[in-house]
Chains A and B, each alone.
Chain A
Amino acid sequence: MFTALNFMLAPFVACLLLILIMVYFGIHVIEREIIFIDIALAQIAAFGSAVSLVLQEMNIVHHNQGGEHDSRTFMAYLFCTLAASIFTVLKDKKIKIPLEAIIGIAYAAAATGAVIILDKGAGGDVHIHDMLAGAILWVSWPQNLRFLVVVVVVGSFHYIFRHKFLGLTKHYQSEETVVSNPKLWDFLFYFSFGIVIVEAVNVGGILTIFAFLIIPASISALFSQNWSSRILIGLIVGGIATILGLYLSWIMDIPSSPAIILFLGLCLLVSLLLKLFHFSKT
């Protein structure tokens, strides 16, 4: 039992960190109805890495063992920034289509673009699968520390300017704006979200991140309208699902991310039933 605890501690801490930041962003994303932005940004970052790989192949970028990882991360961030600016600019009254459609097209183009430049993706399938599943079980303490720094920096940035970000999201669908200079804050929102996604996908894989983003925030939407209590509800639900999921994956020897996701789904089902029961009583 002790070894299990020892082994599971790092993944558990990583999951809690992920949930903490993802629930917060999840509420934003659900209120704005741009649910799939996380998968799109992750895919665009992956496209950036692919571009840097191709550049190295062509010897345009001088490479050595240490510099390779740096240039890939740099390209991933560069592409994320680009995407953030595109999403900011194209959110406009004159564009009559929902932003989610633009996000979707960017996602499809980035995914297939990577296939084209990696020359029909020899082994591309494997890469897709790895990126989807991630390896939260093998997360190391240095990785945790790095992610903690990201969470603290982005989190405090959002906390300091919370009125800007919350105001922006609250009036996202309507024409009026309560925040001065909305484009700048919109860009900062997508940009900081992009940073979190790039770092989070390295830790947990796309699918786990997506589940943490959407499901706890959806559950909290059932019970509260208040931001801080929603974050708290999401954190508690996510924490419970993580403990159960990791425990189940340990005793039954199944992959941990899907187990956590299924427990999150179960939590959603239970909360829906609770809500229905509550409704019928009042």
Chain B
Amino acid sequence: MLDNLVFLAAPITACIMLAGILSYFGNHILSRGIIFIDIALAQIAALGTMIGLLLGFAEESLSVQIISYAFTLIIIALFALTKFKKQVIPQEAIIGIIYCLGLGLAMLLAERIPGGSNFITKTITGNVLWVTWKNVLSCFILFAIIAIIHLFFQKAFIRISGSNDGLPYSPGKTRLFELLFYITFGIVIVKAVPVGGVFLVFTLLIAPTATATLFTQKWRARFIWSWIIGVLGSFSGIYLSYSMNISNGPAIVCLLGLIAFLLAFLKLSAKKFRFLKHNNKN
């Protein structure tokens, strides 16, 4: 058992870290109703990597990473700045269009790069089991910096996410906060997706906060509960994958997804639980 723990220590640490930062962002994402933004961003980052490769840089070289980050940040900045009071096309539809065009372009480029179609699917699976301590450390430093930025501006971010039309301040000021929010989010996604894979990142982002939001609407309680659900879910998912010999990312995703669905149905069907709901609200 001790050997296994040593072997699993890095993946578990990585998962807990991912759960920590992603469950936090998930609350904002859910309140804004832009659920699929991380999948679109991951696609754009992959497209950036492919363009870097096409320009002749080596895979995982610094130049490719810079191109990938630059691409993602430009797109997300455009997204942050195109929020209007009267939204003709919902933001989620814009996300859909970004995803679609990104994937379409990637497919065209894939023809030109040997083994190019791998890059389209590579981001989908990820493999948290083979994460190195060096990678864990660099993630930790990056996430810590972003966490501090968010701690600093948390009131403004919460006010923007919580307001109905998303523009509580003057347009200029809101745009500035939005830019900061989305750029930090973009950095987290570009860093997290190669570690965990698109689906693990997506689920850690949405499922814990969705489960928490079923029972409480308060920001503080939502943060705390989604952290608890996210961390416990990743932990038991890894244990499950180990004991049942299935891949760990999918195990966590399915576990968290099942929990969210079960609790949603429970919430719907249980009139008897009303007193419990009442307690949670207070």
Residue of A nearest to B244 (CB): A116
Alpha-carbon distance A265/B120, docked complex (angstroms): 20
Q: Does A96 sit at the interface, judged by CB under 8 A? A: yes
Q: Does A30 sit at the interface, judged by CB under 8 A? A: yes
Residue of B nearest to A29 (CB): B93
* Residue in B124, B214, B251, B260 whose CB lies within 8 Å of A96: B214
Q: Does B166 sit at the interface, judged by CB under 8 A? A: no
* Residue in B103, B121, B268 whose CB lies within 8 Å of A92: B268
User: What does DSSP make chain B's interface, helix, strand, loop or mixed?
Assistant: helix
Given A95-B267, A98-B33, A218 contacting B97 (CB threshold 8 A): yes
The total of chain B residues at the interface (CB under 8 A) is 51
User: What does DSSP make chain A's interface, helix, strand, loop or mixed?
Assistant: helix
List of B residues within 8 angstroms of A89 by Cβ:
265, 268
Q: Does B231 sit at the interface, judged by CB under 8 A? A: no
List of B residues within 8 angstroms of A100 by Cβ:
33, 35-36, 92
* Residue in A97, A129, A210 whose CB lies within 8 Å of B100: A210
Q: Is A258 in contact with B253, judged by CB distance below 8 angstroms?
A: no
The total of chain A residues at the interface (CB under 8 A) is 51
List of A residues within 8 angstroms of B260 by Cβ:
102, 105
Given A33-B90, A113-B254, A258-B104, A125 contacting B121 (CB threshold 8 A): yes
Interchain nearest-CB distance for A174 vs B (Å): 13
Docked complex: B44-90 residues within 8 A CB-CB of A: 88-90
Q: Does A188 sit at the interface, judged by CB under 8 A? A: no
Q: Does A53 sit at the interface, judged by CB under 8 A? A: no
List of A residues within 8 angstroms of B88 by Cβ:
221-222
Given A112-B249, A254-B111, A261-B104, A101 contacting B96 (CB threshold 8 A): no
* Residue in B111, B117, B253 whose CB lies within 8 Å of A112: B253
Given A104-B202, A128-B121, A109 contacting B258 (CB threshold 8 A): yes
Interface 1/0s, chain B 186-221, versus A by CB < 8 A? Answer: 000000000000010011001100100110010000
Q: Does A255 sit at the interface, judged by CB under 8 A? A: yes
Q: Is B206 in contact with A105, judged by CB distance below 8 angstroms?
A: yes
Docked complex: B225-254 residues within 8 A CB-CB of A: 246-247, 249-251, 253-254
List of B residues within 8 angstroms of A112 by Cβ:
199, 249-250, 253-254
List of B residues within 8 angstroms of A125 by Cβ:
118, 121, 124-125
List of B residues within 8 angstroms of A222 by Cβ:
88-89
Alpha-carbon distance A259/B97, docked complex (angstroms): 15
Docked complex: A210-258 residues within 8 A CB-CB of B: 210-211, 214-215, 218, 221-222, 254-255, 257-258
Q: Is B96 in contact with A214, judged by CB distance below 8 angstroms?
A: yes
Q: Which 7 A-B pairs rank lowest in CB-CB distance, beginning with the nearest?
A: A109-B257, A112-B250, A261-B104, A125-B121, A258-B104, A112-B253, A35-B96
Between-chain CB contacts (< 8 Å), 20 pairs: A30-B93, A33-B90, A36-B35, A36-B92, A94-B267, A94-B268, A97-B264, A98-B30, A100-B36, A101-B35, A104-B202, A108-B199, A108-B206, A108-B207, A120-B247, A133-B107, A214-B93, A222-B89, A258-B107, A262-B104
| Sample of 19 more A-B contacts, CB < 8 Å, known A92-B268, A258-B104 | A30-B89, A94-B267, A96-B213, A98-B33, A105-B256, A105-B257, A105-B261, A106-B257, A108-B257, A116-B247, A120-B247, A121-B125, A128-B121, A129-B120, A210-B100, A261-B100, A265-B100, A265-B104, A268-B97
